[in-house]
Amino acid sequence: MSVCAGKYLSLDLAAGTWHDVPITDDQVRTWLLGSGLAARLLYDRLEPSLDPLDPASPLLVFNGLLTGTFAPTGCRTSWCGRSPLTGIWNEANHGASWGAELRFSGYDGLVITGRAATPAYLWIDGVNGRIELRDASHLWGKDYFETADALLAETDAKARVAGIATTGERLVKLAGVMVGPSSYTRAAARGGMGAIMGSKQLKAIVVRGKSRPTYPDLARLRETVKAQNQFIKENSLAMSAYGTTSGVVTTEIKGDMPLRNWTLGNWGEVEQVSGKTIDQTISLGHKYCFACPIGCGHEEQVTEGKYQTPRGKGLEYETVAGFGGNCLVSDLAVLALANSLCNRYGLDTISTSAAVAFAMEAFEKGLIGSKETGGVELRFGNADAMLAMVHKIARQEDIGRLLGEGVRTAAAELGEGAAGLAVHVKGLEVGYHDPRAFVSMAVNYATAVRGGCHLEAISFWNGYGIPLPTLGYPEPLPYHESDERQAKLAYDFQNYLSVYNPLGLCKFIIKAGYGPGRLAELVNGALGWEWAVDDVLTTGKRLFQLKRLINLELGVTPADDTLPKRLLTEPRPTGEAAGVLPDLDRMMPVYYELRGWDGSGRPGPEKLADLGLA
């Protein structure tokens, strides 16, 4: 167990005690680490009647198996548990260097239960071999930027911080866990994991270490990584230049970017918020996560005009699509400020922008008025109104208190007419890739284990022409046709991507054409295993089914495996995807058969036995 630490820290905040728990070779072989082992541990102790914000509900934080190694992008950490937003399984994942530092401190993860008597933070000092649960009363009520900088001053300037802002303290269900210093903050954003930390009065986890992984054959791994880094670099030039915003213009052309709360087909102002425009105006340069050969991150700053922002983490595609396309705001400085505010407040930019777009449409349709918005004229394209809503969600003011519960709850509260405006699956606001453009994504959204998550398949990359021969896709499929091939495409991509968080790797290397053959080669080089492509995909199937079993215990049924009405019945009116609607009635039976699910959406005994889940 030399690559990973071979243990996790079990912490009871109510008692103020903790102890090490060993991780066996058999557990690693079966579940990997990351969200794989976390799912197994949660399933074993699952109590469906327990509210996600109950102190007894566990928060499971685990590095992937290769996190902290020099495997390409070996940096990812998953924050897992029951989502306060959806009530079902959730894993929120981030990169940067926090996970690597946790590994260097001697741990692969943490399982946290209980509620501290007073606000606290955890200090894991692997350099000096000590663990402390320290008072955080002086940090309670501070935003994340203030918190992170204060903790680095209190502990070690070279430490890594993960923590919450005021939204987590207030149990806002869109609150994420933020990572890094104020000058460059990343996030485990989706599903409200920051609210779980807040429910436990845990402000932050600070880590510092000195140990490093060792490998069964270092020379072999070095050769593998050298070749793979070169391949990834050569096939990620756009990502390296512009980050995830490199695809902003193309997604609008394809009909992939949601516009005006998913109602428009084209947006003539998209060039104003493109990756190239960002690079030429507000970008300050590249940033790399630990062990990453791509460097898709950027720092940005706006120093002039009405909407100034401090130096900080740059815009991602999802943030541009959400606050830009979905809210119809094309002022780049405004988008940068909205992004900075979400990072400061600890808010998920996807769900927050979706909630604002929902509220804009509700306002324009007369479902809410100035009384609910606190006097804000909440219309599409109104930049000041959009920014005001971010503040109101974070501060739980006026309609912001309801929007902070997510669009599903907000629509239910607003009543008749609002449900059709709420674009979510199983309570999670849908990621910003339109299943009316790439219909395989309809199957993915309907079945993804944490709800409307694009990252569980990213099968739209096939439509963009990214070849994955060892997954069975050397060429793109006709992506507007709702046929059996699209159902299988979603299934195959889900299986492949299901091993990424458990391995601690960034899914964006797939955009370089990184298929399961290369992944098996990397795992074998790092761990001395003998994986083949089938082993990669079988492990992915096992982990996906395990999380499905958790959701079944939490009440998910086949009736939940669907899309919001808007995405099934209202086609985009213009553009390349005009008139396209996904036919779930045709595709879902194929998908269910591939998964081995019966009429109740449950895998049968034979399928469970095949995957080692009996």
Question: Residue 217: which pLDDT band, with cuts at 50, 70 and 90?
Answer: very high
List where CATH 1.10.599.10 sits in the chain.
437-610
Q: How confident is the prediction for the chain on average, in pLDDT?
A: 98
The answer to whether the CB of 208 falls within 8 A of the CB of 100 is: no
Q: SS3 for 431? A: coil
Q: Where in the chain is the domain with CATH 3.60.9.10?
A: 7-208
Which tens digit of pLDDT belongs to each residue from 389-430?
999 999 999 999 999 999 999 999 999 899 999 999 999 999
pLDDT digits (tens, 9 = 90+) for 257-288: 999 999 999 999 999 999 999 999 999 999 99
- The CATH number assigned to the domain with range 243-422 reads 1.10.569.10
- How far is the C-alpha of 318 from the C-alpha of 457, rounded, in Å? 16
CATH architecture of 7-208: 4-Layer Sandwich (3.60)
What Rg value do the Cα atoms of the chain yield, rounded?
Answer: 22
What letter does residue 321 receive in the DSSP assignment?
I
Which numeric CATH code is attached to 437-610? 1.10.599.10
Q: What is the pLDDT of residue 614?
A: 84
Dig out the tokens for 556 from the structure.
């998910």
CATH 1.10.569.10 domain locations along the chain: 243-422
Q: Say yes or no to pLDDT of 440 above 80.
A: yes
CA distances (Å), 588 to each of 451, 558, 583, 602, in order? Answer: 16, 10, 9, 14
Residue 346 has pLDDT above 50, yes or no: yes
pLDDT tens profile 139-166: 999 999 999 999 999 999 999 999 999 9
In Å, how far are 8, 70, 71, 94 from 504, measured between CA atoms?
16, 11, 10, 9
Residue type (1 letter), 207: V
